[in-house]
Structure 1
Amino acid sequence: MEKPAFLDRVWQQMGAVHKDSDLAAACLVAQERFAVDVPLLLLLCLADQHRSAPALADLPAYFAGADAWRQAVIVPIRAVRQTMKTAFNAPAELQLRYEIKRVELEAERLHVVRLVQSYPTVTTDQTATAPIYLARCQAPDDQAQAFLSTFAAAFDAQIRLATAKG
């Protein structure tokens, strides 16, 4: 089956919505409080906006694949960078931390590539999947809804508005 068209520009759209300072802050809170996989969450939010949500039956395997990469690659890189942030501040150490941050971003980009390549079949019932993922991460309903509202506002400002202008 053919992949949804939005996947061709998902990394660019993630970057665009993440430029919104409220959404960037909400992503950080979700990541720190609920161990949310931000690239996965943003991809699901974009899928919901583009009415291209994956079939619910495919979500457990999709989430497991995402978790495997995140735990094996992204989490350890982030842990090293965060540890260095509080303890090592000599100029050469700051340069190394900057390089680790660059590697972390590249690992997240590759994570998105993997998510796109393994994207499940699109469902016809269009059940929103981002709220399902947030519930899986045990985000309370009010905080999940606040995140989704923040995402929707960022999407409208950064994607819909840009599309309407261009």
Structure 2
Amino acid sequence: MIEDTGLGEQAPAPLWPFALEIYARPGVAALCLEAQDRAGADVPLLLWGAWAAAGGRVLTDADVNAARALADQWRGPVITPLRQARRALKNLAGGEALRQTVKAAELEAERLYLAALEALSAGWPAPPGPCPVPWATALRDNLARLLPPDAGPVTERLHKALS
């Protein structure tokens, strides 16, 4: 998703609505969760990488390192404990109301994490020339940088689901 800035330039759409839209595509949520549960992937990072690709951006080592530093601030101390609590409450009798509250908190934490990831793009230069890197190429490269090397099969399936 790209938006016209009205100045003859194009800018990426805001990350949160992009992430919601792309996550809702058929098969994407299941593949993201598979990558998360089986390969230790960070779903917000994957969505950020797809968003960057939609803007013609192939992530650099500096981009990935800055994003992983943010991930360390959000995932371990905030999002993972909320996810664990939500999953634990699923099987407890009478815990559904609390589970929904924790789920809402987890979603809000992910939204704030994505906002921090989006802020990283503020310093990105505009794509070179009138023709940025094609979406499919940038997406493949970005997913490969953000998923563990042993996640090849899920990387390919996720690339297909997002393309």
Shift of 1:42: 0.9
> Does structure 1 residue 37 correspond to structure 2 residue 50?
no
State the TM-score, normalized to the length of structure 2.
Answer: 0.77
Deviates more, 1:99-108 or 1:55-64: 55-64
- The whole-number CA distance in structure 2 between the counterparts of 1:28 and 1:140 is 13
Q: Is the 8 A contact 2:89 2:98 kept in 1?
A: no
State the partner residue of 1:72: 77
The Cα shift of 1:40 comes to 1.0
- Higher RCO (CA 8 Å, separation ≥ 6 residues): 1
1:160 alignment partner in structure 2? none
- Residue 11 of structure 2 is matched in structure 1 by 5
Which 5+ residue runs of structure 1 have no aligned equivalent? 153-166
Q: Give 1:5's aligned amino acid.
A: A
Runs of 4+ in 1 over 6 A off after TM superposition: none
Q: List runs of 5+ in structure 2 lacking aligned partners.
A: 1-9
Q: Which amino acid is 1:69 matched to? A: W
Over aligned residue pairs, what C-alpha RMSD do you find? 2.2
Asked whether the 8 Å contact 2:39–2:151 carries over to 1, the reply is no
Equivalent positions of 1:13-32 (< 5 A) are: 13-32=18-37
1:121 aligns with 2:120: no
Q: Which moved more, 1:47-56 or 1:73-82?
A: 47-56
Deviation, structure 1 residue 140 = 2.9
Is 1:96 the counterpart of 2:98? The answer is yes
Distance in 2 between residues matched to 1:60 and 1:16, nearest whole Å:
26
Displacement, 1:103?
A: 0.6
Alpha-carbon deviations, 1:62-106, whole Å to 9, x = none?
Answer: 2122233111110011111111112x122xx21111111011000
What secondary structure is seen at the aligned counterpart in 1 of 2:104?
helix
Matched length:
143
Q: Which has the higher helix share?
A: 1
Deviation at 1:139?
3.8
- AA of the residue aligned to 1:56: D
1:99-154 per-position Cα deviation (integer Å, ceiling 9, x unaligned): 110110000000001111233635769563221111xx2443232111111111xx
For 2:48 and 2:160, locate their aligned partners in 1 and report how far apart those are by CA, in whole Å.
15
> What TM-score comes out, normalization by structure 1 length?
0.76
2: CA distance, partners of 1:138 / 1:56? 15
Deviations 1:16-73 (A, max 9, x none): 1111231111111111111211111011012113202333333223212223311111
2:110 alignment counterpart:
108
Question: Which residue in the other structure is 1:163 paired with?
Answer: none
- Distance change >3 Å, CA 65–CA 115, structure 1 → 2: same
